[in-house]
Amino acid sequence: MASTDAAPRPPAPSAGDDAPRTPPPLVADPAALRAFLDGPYASVRDDVRARLVDHAPILDERVDLPRAELRRRVRDLVVEIGRQGQAVHGFPTAYGGGGDIGASVASFETLAYGDLSVLVKSGVQFGLFGGAVLQLGTARHHDTYLPDILSGRLLGCFAMTETGHGSNVQAIGTTARYDPGTDELVVTTPDDSARKDYIGNAAEDGELAVVFAQLEVAGEQHGVHAVLVPIRSAGEVLPGVRIEDCGAKLGLEGVDNGRIWFDGVRVPRANLLDRFASIEDDGAYRSSIENPDRRFFTMLGTLVQGRVSIGGAAVGASKVALEIAIRYGLRRRQFESATEGEETLLLDYGMHQRRLLPLLARTYALSCAQEEVARQLHEVFSADTPEADDRARRALESRAAGTKALATWHATRTIQECREACGGAGYLAANRFAALKADTDVFATFEGDNHVLLQLVAKGLLTDYSSEFEDLDQFGMVRFVTGLAVETVIERTAAHQLLERIRDVLPGGRDGWDQEAGLLDPDYQLAMLRFREEHQLAGVARRLKAGVDAGRPTGEVFSRVQDHVIAAARSHVERLVLEAFVERVRALPESPARDVLTALSDLYALTTIEADRGWFLEHGRLSAPRSKAITREVSEVLRRLRPVAGELVEAFGIPAEVLGARDLVG
């Protein structure tokens, strides 16, 4: 439960209190709110904002460039980012970096205010390609490649995804066979299903690829490893390599996605990225992690920064859409007011507030959740090794997966709602929404399909991060849960025990807590989300066990409960998001900014409960009058936030030159 050290909030009305209330008006200082959102990396974010202003005229949405020209301009900007040393925040100081992964995530999130092709191509170059060399390689790889990667002199690819294997990386088909006669690795694409697909930087610009392949040494298979494979020299594709442009996409046309095939391409043994496993001079395979499954998941765990960064980028894009739509709603009038004699501002309509302000509150909440996951990322990777604290690493991977899923889904929903809220003007490409919609849509499957990521979250929840369960696939998960002792997950999270635990910490005590607790009490809000999360988790465990006890095949059992698995994971992450928001706000001193942020936190919490009111009603956590009271309270909070809506989006700090959409925002 969140800390309660800060000053208490004023008492909130109970569900039955319908007396007129006139709370003091909210006063919003955009500078104070911006400081809250920017967090500890305000200077990093300001640097990115200034850089975006410099680049804004080059990537004007009103200019319809041919694909080849757009790609060239995007490439030039990415190279310029590297040349100016603006992509090194998270890399070691020995290579000119800042040694601060949190700063790197903040920079990436802010870069999302601008052209998203630049964001994604720089993410491929410095985050995926450079990050893989850093995290999976050793000193000789770092010394040889990182200076040129970080300066933009060496452009590269992250070649993991295959046509036949997307999320199931462990089953990829590309092979890397060690040939002791020549001391080389032979990289081969056995069939079209194993071709590397949708690889950023591959179609035109990449010279070197980090290729994930099944490693074979002395006839023995050792699972997926990463190998550095040159694919171009002086702009020409190298022998044994075949590359094909993926062609037109829904968006991100400035990124040169391609497909790659390898026909017995030979590279030196030293090109194996060997942080976790190596081929020694005597030709023997050795690894510090004996279990191949654990080795695989440890390797992938070092690349978690990509998921954190994509989640941050989604939040950044959501801010752009919301600022455009809310500023438009503050200047566009429609239909005459009965009292003022002039047409009414769009944002003065209750429905317009209902459409946009809850999304704004959720964006603030996700900003806090992003800051928390970035903080954990920094702490884990600032340790001597990320595997030094397995529990912290697994918690980070779970939180990163869940936050990325919710943030990217939120971006898709927010951009669409904002586009509609701007009417036909929002349909014009010059007003940003066409690019925002097209370029962010893939975020839901970048760095892992969101539903698969939520299954990863659920796996950790079901076993409380049990080390025995870490490496299991969905069928192993079913088998493991069926063998759990009764004192573990199933009984520990049984619904009746959860109810006993939650009742004791809420206002109103054990009798009628859900009817008497103040709707604006964050402990009540958190307890509601916690109850839903743990009740759903207990239900998943019971269903898994009952299915296997009934003799059904494990695959069928998992398929039957998969919707419950996703629901439990999503509920868990929504609770974490609220917890992060509440804790950040509670840590603030009393101030007008704190009052505004408290109202936003209430709006996020209450609309989250309201959206799932059917579940809470079915499970006895809401009565019909209480459910109606929540809707009334949401409307009241919306009315309080309406006068400061402009300041709330101004706090994003998006420069006017970057925001664009001049037809809508003036």
pLDDT digits (tens, 9 = 90+) for 312-351: 999 999 999 999 999 999 998 888 766 666 888 999 999 9
**Region 639-665 average pLDDT:** 95
Catalytic (active-site) positions: 447
Asked if the structure places residue 343 within a domain, the reply is yes
What letter does residue 470 receive in the DSSP assignment? Answer: T
Q: Same domain, yes or no, for 487 and 390?
A: yes
Same domain, 255 and 358: no
Q: What share of the chain is helix, strand, coil (3-state, %, to 5)?
A: 60, 10, 30
Structural domain contains residue 7: no
**Residue where a domain stops, chosen among 138, 154, 170:** 154
In a domain, 317, yes or no: yes
- Residue 666 DSSP one-character state: -
**Residues 344-362: pLDDT tens digits?**
899 999 999 999 999 999 9
Predicted confidence (pLDDT) at residue 454 exceeds the cutoff of 50: yes
Q: Are residues 484 and 335 located together in one domain of the fold?
A: yes
> Does 25 reside within a domain?
no
Q: Is 588 inside any structural domain?
A: yes
Q: Is the pLDDT of residue 611 over 60?
A: yes
Count of C-beta atoms within a 10 Å radius of residue 512? 12
pLDDT tier, 551 (very low <50, low <70, confident <90, very high otherwise): confident
Residues 112, 163 share a domain:
no
CATH of the domain at 142: 1.10.540.10
Summarize pLDDT for 598-607 with one digit per residue, the tens: 999 999 999 9
> Does residue 465 sit in the same domain as residue 608?
yes
Cβ-based neighbours of 316, under 8 Å, separated by 6 or more: 109, 110, 111, 112, 113
Residues 121 and 185 in one domain: no
pLDDT score recorded for residue 499:
44
Q: Is residue 130 domain-shared with residue 65, that is, in the same domain?
A: yes
> Do residues 121 and 74 touch, judged by C-beta distance below 8 A?
yes
Q: Are residue 631 and residue 510 in the same domain, yes or no?
A: yes
Structural domain contains residue 300:
no
Tell me: do 341 and 389 sit in the same domain.
yes
Domain presence at residue 15: no
Read off φ and ψ for residue 175, nearest 5 degrees: -120, 150
Q: Does 608 reside within a domain?
A: yes
Counting the structural domains of the chain, the total is 3
Both 366 and 378 in one domain: the answer is yes
Q: Which residues contact 34 (CB under 8 A, 6 or more apart)?
A: 42, 650, 651, 652, 653
Decide if 262 contacts 241 (C-beta within 8 A).
yes
Please give the average per-residue pLDDT across 106-113, as a whole number: 96
Same domain for 346 and 408:
yes
* Predicted pLDDT of residue 548: 80
Last residue of a domain, one of 154, 175, 205: 154
Segments forming the whole domain that contains residue 651: 305-656
142 and 175 in a common domain: no
CA nearest 370: which of 594, 599, 525, 584? 584
Last residue of a domain, one of 136, 154, 172: 154
Q: Give the residue from 132, 212, 138 showing the smallest Cα distance to 170.
A: 212
Average pLDDT, integer, range 368-392: 81
pLDDT, mean of residues 615-638:
95
Q: How confident is the model at residue 371 (pLDDT cuts 50, 70, 90)?
A: very high
